[in-house]
Structure 1
Amino acid sequence: MIRPILQATDPQLRQKSKSVVKVDKKISSIITDLKDTLVVQKDPEGVGLAAPQIGKKLRVFIMKLGGTTITVINPKILQVINKGKGVAKKIERKQKKSKILEGCLSLPHYYGPLKRAKFIKIKYLDGNGQEQISSFSDFDAQIIQHEIDHLEGILFIDKLLEQKRPLYEYVNGEWERVELI
């Protein structure tokens, strides 16, 4: 079922989510609602959606990955790499060339250039309740971190303030800088 997405001013988005004890019909129904809700988002189009954004205080989110959608339940960060040698260094160089503005379906049409880890490894349960360990880099790592923030009651604008970075609003095909207080 398509659910309304809570907007940034909703206090529910500021609450920490509870861990899922068992992947049952209730959780499967929430996952279906997340997928149904994400797929209809067109302006802007979303790449991830967390249960708190549809009013469910559970540690569940979905994200688009390639041509599929993955479900992440009770994620635990195992490893984060910001800089270094090898793969992370190559990723860092690549990202320096193309900055990605981060946005959120709970704050549509607003974007900001956040610094996020370039590589992240997490342990989580998939939609069938099976434990997975996966690594993500580049934009996918950014999505994972953004969605985990939602599970902690943190919005991307909090990170923008923390990093003293600008916020932009996309209006009628134009970018306008917005002052954060």
Structure 2
Amino acid sequence: MVEEIVIYPDSRLRETSKEVIEFGSVLKETLDNMYETMMDKGGVGLAGVQIGKLQRMLIVNIPREDRIQYKEDLLEIINPNIIESSGEILFQEGCLSIPNYYEYVKRFSYIKLQFQDREGKEKIIEAKDYLAVALQHEIDHLNGILFIDKLSILKRKKFEKEYKKKK
């Protein structure tokens, strides 16, 4: 089921998501709905909070070189914890919760991530470049941080001014 996306400046986007404890059918249904929603809206990542679920869960599906997102590449990340990070990358980001706004953000170019899958099994993944950026972006959502928070004061003021005009 396609869910409604929580849009900035909704205060829920500023809340810290809670750890997932129950790994049952409700979680699986939510993850499935998140995938349908992300694909319907044309995103590459989605955090639980973006559909109003304040739980530490996110999904990421990076397109391959042919620009197609294959479901077998889907990552479902529950209770993520970055255990290692290095390097630096400047990457243009957008966000389904801040439609039609894109800006370059500085992130780690490499991360090692500890998390649980939909069954609750502990896993570790290493990610670099685009995947590392997408994971960091979604993890920020779980901590109430938006990519616009990482902009310079000047760019942030410009964003706020442009965003108010659109409303």
- Runs of 4+ deviating beyond 4 Å: none
Separation in structure 1 between the aligned mates of residue 121 and residue 85 of structure 2, nearest angstrom:
23
Which residue is equivalent to 2:93? 102
1:156 and 2:147 correspond: yes
Aligned counterpart, 1:135: 126
Identity %: 38
**Unpaired runs of at least 5, structure 1:** 84-94, 168-177
Question: Secondary structure, in 3 states, of the residue corresponding to 1:144?
Answer: helix
- AA matched with 2:127: F
Conservation of the 8 A alpha-carbon contact between 2:91 and 2:106 = no
Deviations 1:108-132 (A, max 9, x none): 1101110000000010011222111
Instruction: Write out per-residue CA displacement over residues 45-73 of structure 1, whole angstroms, 9 at most, x where no aligned residue.
Output: 21000000000000000000443211000
- Aligned partner of 1:49: which letter? L
Match of 2:7?
7
Aligned equivalents of 1:160, 1:3: Cα separation in 2: 29
For residue 100 of structure 1, report the CA deviation from its aligned partner: 2.8
Q: Distance in 1 between matches of 2:23 and 2:154?
A: 38
**Residue correspondences, number:** 152
Once the two structures are TM-superposed, the CA of residue 180 in structure 1 deviates from its matched residue by 3.8
TM-score by length of 2: 0.85
Q: CA deviation at 1:158?
A: 0.8
RMSD: 1.7
Q: Does 1:75 align with 2:80?
A: yes
TM-score (norm 1): 0.79
Aligned to 1:116: 107
Counterpart of 1:170?
none
CA distance in 1, matches of 2:7, 2:36: 18
- Choose between structure 1 and 2: higher helix proportion: 2
Is the contact made by 1:113 and 1:166 (CA closer than 8 Å) also made in structure 2? no
- 8 Å contact from structure 2 (residues 91, 107) kept in 1: no
The one of 49, 55, 60 aligned to 1:58: 55
SS at match of 1:101: strand
